[in-house]
Amino acid sequence: MQQTILIPTPAQNGLFDITSQVEAIVAESGVQTGMVNVYVQGATAGIMILFI
């Protein structure tokens, strides 16, 4: 299964929390056990993971 989350970026720099979107995609999939892979396209883009 593959889903795309599109985020408009009105400024050159930004920090966007996509937690709720990823949670919704996983919930809709019905998958109970597994792994989620999040990929960001772009030479200067990055993914930050914060464990609280």
Q: Give residue 8's pLDDT band: very low, low, confident or very high (50, 70, 90).
A: confident
Residue 8 lies inside a defined structural domain of this protein:
no
**Per the structure, how many domains does the chain have?**
1
Mean pLDDT of 27-33: 94
Residue 29 lies inside a defined structural domain of this protein:
yes
Q: What is the CA radius of gyration of the chain?
A: 13
CA angle 30/16/48 to nearest 5° reads 80
Residue 52 lies inside a defined structural domain of this protein:
yes
Which is higher by pLDDT, 12 or 18? Answer: 18
Residue 44 lies inside a defined structural domain of this protein:
yes
pLDDT at 49: 87
pLDDT at 5: 93
pTM of the model: 0.78
Distance CA 26, CA 23 (A): 5
Residue 27 lies inside a defined structural domain of this protein:
yes
| Domain hosting residue 33, numbered range | 18-52
Three-state DSSP class for residue 51: coil
Residue 1 lies inside a defined structural domain of this protein:
no
Residue 51 lies inside a defined structural domain of this protein:
yes
Mean pLDDT of 16-25: 93
Residue 4 lies inside a defined structural domain of this protein:
no
